[in-house]
């Protein structure tokens, strides 16, 4: 004859947790101090970043040279059109113009080849999309600088208006303000250049049209003179009007 019994295990409670903490408090304290110290070191070494914001408002009118009867028309303000303007502001072509104007190729903050900052490549290491990509090693110095500048640039819409805020981050507050204004100035210059080209095309079309009309008038007048000569119609001859003739 045998007897069987069950052994019940009590759940892990707060008392057990407090006992574990009490037992391992030295290890927990050292780990906490290590994390706090490492965080403090990173914060001291991590470069300070300042963001300056410039504002640009879209012109509500645009040149329209595709129509012969309408030279100016309203600029569309739908979401797709506004996104197109953001794409222009954040395009590599516009960034290249700003970089050349501000001589950012020689700035270690934006040129990885000149940078001695130990955290320069940390953002790429922390970005999951960069882990499986080897395209960075194949980029030229120009492309690397453009990528670096675009990382510091941020363009956002302001509500439901046609106004954009152009923000740029840098370790120098004056530099960030200067580059943000440079992006806005380059964008405005690009828009003015586009309007100038459109006006030039419009002027050229009008000039060609006037020349065509002048040729048509000359041909019509020549045809009238030829008809009069063939039918011996001379206005005012012998006091007889051309209508009577």
Residues in the chain: 245
Q: Where are the beta strands (DSSP E) in the chain?
A: 50-57, 61-63, 72-74, 153-157, 163-170
Structure tokens at 74: 């309203």
Q: What is the pLDDT along the chain (245 residues), one digit of tens a residue?
A: 444 555 555 676 777 777 777 787 788 888 888 888 888 777 676 667 788 888 888 765 554 544 444 444 445 556 777 888 889 899 999 999 999 999 998 888 888 787 665 555 555 554 454 444 444 444 567 888 999 999 999 998 887 777 888 999 988 889 999 999 999 999 989 888 888 888 888 888 888 889 888 888 988 888 888 887 777 776 655 656 666 65
Q: What are the angstrom distances between the C-alpha of 28 and each of 22, 24, 25, 213?
A: 10, 6, 5, 93
Is the pTM above the cut of 0.85?
no
- Sheet strands side by side (includes 163-170): 50-57, 163-170, 153-157
CA distance 184 to 88: 11
Q: What are the angstrom distances between the C-alpha of 64 and each of 68, 95, 153?
A: 9, 27, 31
* pLDDT the model gives residue 14: 76
CA distance 148 to 21: 47
Q: Which residues pair with 51 in a beta bridge?
A: 169
DSSP line for 91-139: -HHHHHHHHHHHTGGG-TTT-TTT---TTTTHHHHH-GGGTT--GGGG-
CB proximity list for 141: less than 8 A, separation 6 or greater: 105, 111, 113
Are 114 and 106 within 8 A, CB to CB? yes
* pLDDT the model gives residue 178: 93
Percentages helix, strand, coil for the chain (3-state, rounded to 5) are: 55, 10, 30
Give kind and range of the element (H or E) at residue 7: none
Cα 108 from chain centroid (whole Å):
23
* pLDDT the model gives residue 86: 87
CA distance 56 to 184: 7
């Amino acid at each position: 004859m045998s007897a069987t019994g069950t052994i019940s295990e009590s759940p892990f409670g707060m008392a057990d947790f407090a006992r574990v903490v009490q037992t391992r408090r030295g290890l927990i304290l050292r780990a906490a101090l290590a994390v706090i110290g490492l965080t403090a070191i990173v914060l001291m070494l991590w470069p300070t970043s300042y963001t300056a914001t410039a504002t640009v408002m879209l012109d509500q009118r645009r040149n329209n040279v595709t129509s012969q009867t309408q030279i100016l028309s309203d600029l569309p303000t739908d979401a797709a059109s506004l996104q197109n303007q953001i794409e222009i502001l954040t395009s590599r072509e516009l960034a290249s113009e700003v970089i050349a104007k501000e001589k950012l190729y020689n700035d270690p903050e934006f040129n990885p080849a000149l940078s001695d900052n130990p955290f320069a490549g940390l953002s790429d290491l922390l970005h999951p999309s960069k882990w499986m990509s080897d395209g960075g090693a194949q980029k030229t110095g120009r492309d690397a600088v453009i990528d670096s500048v675009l990382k510091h640039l941020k363009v956002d819409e302001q509500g439901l208006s046609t106004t954009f805020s152009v923000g740029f981050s840098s370790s120098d507050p004056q530099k960030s303000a200067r580059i943000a204004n440079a992006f806005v100035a380059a964008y405005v210059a690009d828009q003015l250049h586009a309007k100038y080209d459109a006006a030039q095309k419009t002027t050229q079309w009008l000039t060609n049209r006037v020349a065509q009309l002048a040729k048509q008038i000359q041909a019509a007048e020549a045809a009238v003179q030829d008809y009069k000569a063939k039918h011996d119609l001379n206005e005012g001859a012998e006091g007889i009007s051309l209508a009577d003739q």
